[in-house]
Structure 1
Amino acid sequence: MRSVPTPEILRDRGYSIAVIGGGITGLAAAMQARQSGAEVHLFESSSRPGGWIRTTHEDDWILEWGPHSVLPTSPTLIRLAEQVGLGDSWRSARKNASKRYIWRDNSLRALPSNPLLIPFSRALSPLGWARLVAEPLIGRGGDEEESVRSFFRRRFGVEACRYLADAMVAGICGGIPEQLELNSFSPRLKEWEQRYGSVLMGFLRSPRPTGVPFQGTGTLQQGMESLPSALALELGDRFHPDTPVTAVERSKNGWKLFLDGAYPTDTIQVDGVIMALPAFVAGRLLTPCFPRVAEALNQIPYASMTLVQIGYDPESCSKRPDGFGFLVPRDQGLPILGTIWSSSIFPWRAPDTKSLATIFLGGTRDPGVVDESDRLLVDRAISALQSVHGQGLIPVMTAVGKATAAIPQQCLGHGKRVTTIRSELLSHPELVVAGGYMDGISLESCARSGEDAALQVVSHLASRQE
């Protein structure tokens, strides 16, 4: 189901919809449900909206602790920003942000930003690139549960799989290619193979988005958290922070939600429910009513991520940051997943004359990192940056953030688990589970998942009286 206008089709019908979870999925769902004319309540267990979208301002540093930016292929996010008055707040990345690297054999290797630059890239060997560009000659294959590793090896060759697939997966979800199911992790790649017989041909034939308020990669001037904050403000007193939902049970006319309040009678009766929660939290709430759904939800693993922000003087570096950042394949000796050169992309994120880097550690590759001390994490991040930029790099600002169980991993069998969840809930279309583990982990996919969930609930409620 795709988002389409629902101009107050529930107005004056007395229907109410509860959204549980105040991340971007829940906020998008609440906005869509409100547009239908339903009475909407959004319950968030923490004190702030946005989930893992978090921005802090430390003196003259703007630190992003979740998504740093969005792509032009993000119409849902762009529309939501417009709805809450942030349409003029989008800012484009610097042109050099198209430069991206991998760390290989103790040096940064530039990835080609267009096919004409492939002969000049040392990210792969000449034979590795030759095998990659021969991808259109490879026949269709694979199955529904093919891994990302198997797909890349089959279509692009061993070397591209070893370095590019490993780095890509680390940068997107902190995962490991052989554990992830391609159809769930990146269904577009499989779609291109089936439709065009080639991933490269599918990419080249895909239409480019138009009417985007930024060029290349974009962000919001005051930080990505300004979007969920503005959405919550737009919802007004229908956004309920510090209000965990502790139980959900069927009632005669819908659903009863039990809230973590001062009294046992803190409940609310609603006609529809949208669960925009981590899989394991949704599983706990759904166990009494839908044990098979809960079992499938509880089988979805999560990766923790640790971020270290380092501010430094680029003049002291032998290799200055120039581009978006770099990713690190597993066997390349650096104990990090990758680095975003935040102020190289968006200069206002650091004070004049200074640079800001965001270093990612942990994920499925190194799950114990999240339990290490801040001091050890900072030392590890500084050592990695010095390997890249030279020993002259001296930090002038450091900060550490930990995101425990933050990113769902779409491991082998994930598609079947999602199918089980959807099929088991078909008998109750007024209750929908939404989020990154259902429809894709990108910020755009999460927002779209919330809107589609709201459309399903609204359409079902509207049909009751037709």
Structure 2
Amino acid sequence: MTHTTAPPEARPAQTRVVIVGAGISGLTTAYYLQRRFGDQAQITLVEAAERLGGKISTRIVAGHPLDTGPDALMVRAPVAAALIADLGLADQVVAPNGGGARIWSRGRLRSLPEGTMFGVPGGLLPLVRSRLLSPLGLARAAFDLVLPRNRPRAAGADPSIGELVRARMGAQVFNRLVEPLLGGVHAGRADTLSAQSTAPDIAALASTHRSLYLGLRHRPKRAAGAAPAGPMLVTLNSGLGGLVDALEAHLTDATVRRGRTVTAITPAAGPAAAAPRGYRVDLDDGDVLTADVVVLATPAFASAQIVATASPQLATLLEGIDYANVATIGLAYPRSALSADLVGTGFLVPPEEGRLIVGCTWSSLKWPHLADDNVVLVRCMVGRHGDNRWLTMRDSTLVRRVRDELADALGLVGTPQEQFVQRWDQGMPQYLVGHQTRLDAMAEELTTLPGLFLTGSAYRGVGLASCIADAERTADAIVAVRSSTRREDRAGATIAGRNLRVPAHRQE
């Protein structure tokens, strides 16, 4: 059988894609595009740092791999589990030990009530057993069962989580349960966070059930005899830095420009063109790239600077996404520093306690591969939206304050064998009330900029699994927009904008 090769002029032109930012969002977008386009795409990743991975970073502490950023991946999300398998990492997966987190409240570590979701308890009896609430707080929490159903809200209304929970269950449930759990995920204040964008399950319960307790009780349960779904969260035995290494190794057809910053993008046909065809991408070293598609996988404030010339309106919307400053403090204590056995996998701290620590993980107990008879590995997180007391502290002062708080909570004394401080300035995006409305406005603005895409933790989920899912959705939208732009430029722009209108995912 004779095969013929199409002449060069008959072959489809390569799609030139520039992805700005090589954190988990940029890396996975490049990975999915490479799989979908094959050799029909010319992919360039531009990363300001010399290291790839963004906030995913692993370092060796006391001989063990300890993550300085996120330390777990939610594999109940199918796209995350599939990525692990596709990268050949399935044999490196480590599931956490059980035990769960405690709440540090009024001088003691207290158990979370059973059936809690985002801090909302699933019943009164578990609340009583936890001893988190005073008798008056318990009585107020019971009002949820007798208060009338919430009035229907106007279309597009976006109450805060605090507004929903405090009205039904009172201040103590909100302050001692909801605030610390959401603070652990978002480093935010639940009174300002959008229920729709950060806790859509709770928002749905509040609108469809007359009681949050009853709504949680009537959630679908796994069928009797069904096999367990497996762990919700996992890590890798080399730390999550292994995920970054695997992604980088698989990007065989992509060009990576490290240590370079994109200063601006400009529609190739000029700002006045009705349908720009491609973009000029300016780098800080004076180099210029030309792209059919640009993906901004950078934080919203960085993306705002990049698009300021191409779209001042989009830049303004991006600048409106606020961030919290956060830090991870890693400590390796000798086992002898413990005055008692640790219980569970860590603890969370309500803001009302006035502590610097937001949450703490006993990494040696949480992850089997970090267990050590001689060393206890501890990761503490500090920083909440609006709480920058620690920001000007020297690392040594910050570590001392964290150690003092650990001594109060656990009686943990002595000097750590090793320690580190990893600061993430403007590290955690805040999905404030009105977040989805902002995304809708951004999507509308993107319809004027065909081939420009936004992805990352600032938009539809802060967890790693949410970022991976958004990256795959972005890659699919790029494939669709490249097909449609050959037929109608405006149709392609509409697909690009629609990508931002996808509701937020459940958070990790």
| TM-score calculated relative to the size of structure 1 | 0.89
Look up the match of 2:497.
Answer: none
AA aligned opposite 2:106: D
Deviations 1:435-458 (A, max 9, x none): 112112121112222221222221
Distance 1:168 1:36, change over 3 A: same
Matches of 1:43 and 1:211, distance apart in 2 = 44
Structure 1: give runs of 5+ residues left out of the alignment: 1-10
Look up the match of 2:190.
Answer: 177
The CA deviation at 1:195 is 4.4
Give 1:157-176 correspondences, 5 Å limit.
157-176=170-189
Aligned-pair identity (%): 27
Give 1:36-435 correspondences, 5 Å limit.
36-37=36-37, 38-96=41-99, 99-114=100-115, 117-125=126-134, 128-129=137-138, 132=141, 135=144, 139-141=149-151, 144-196=157-209, 199-200=212-213, 201=215, 205-206=219-220, 215-236=231-252, 237-252=254-269, 253-261=277-285, 264=286, 266-349=287-370, 351-390=372-411, 392-435=413-456
Matches of 1:199 and 1:42, distance apart in 2 = 46
Matches of 1:26 and 1:197, distance apart in 2 = 42
| TM-score calculated relative to the size of structure 2 | 0.82
Matches of 1:251 and 1:23, distance apart in 2 = 27
Give 1:430-449 correspondences, 5 Å limit.
430-449=451-470
Matches of 2:259 and 2:69, distance apart in 1 = 21
C-alpha RMSD of the superposition = 2.6
AA aligned opposite 1:205: R
Distance 1:184 1:177, change over 3 A: same
Distance 1:77 1:391, change over 3 A: closer
Look up the match of 1:8.
Answer: none
Conserved in 1, the CA contact under 8 Å of 2:94 and 2:368? no
190-199 or 72-81, larger mean C-alpha shift: 190-199
Q: Tell me, what secondary structure is at the counterpart of 2:109?
A: strand
- Which is greater in Rg? 2
Conserved in 1, the CA contact under 8 Å of 2:94 and 2:369? no
Conserved in 1, the CA contact under 8 Å of 2:30 and 2:43? yes
The CA deviation at 1:395 is 2.3
Conserved in 2, the CA contact under 8 Å of 1:306 and 1:369? no
The CA deviation at 1:248 is 0.6
Matched residue count = 451
Deviations 1:384-408 (A, max 9, x none): 1100111545422221111111111
Conserved in 2, the CA contact under 8 Å of 1:319 and 1:388? no
Matches of 1:100 and 1:450, distance apart in 2 = 30
Matches of 1:124 and 1:251, distance apart in 2 = 61
Matches of 1:61 and 1:34, distance apart in 2 = 33
Q: Tell me, what secondary structure is at the counterpart of 2:73?
A: coil
The CA deviation at 1:213 is 8.9
Q: Tell me, what secondary structure is at the counterpart of 1:29?
A: helix
Q: Tell me, what secondary structure is at the counterpart of 1:112?
A: coil
Distance 1:290 1:212, change over 3 A: farther
Conserved in 1, the CA contact under 8 Å of 2:61 and 2:332? no
Conserved in 1, the CA contact under 8 Å of 2:347 and 2:360? yes
Matches of 1:129 and 1:80, distance apart in 2 = 44
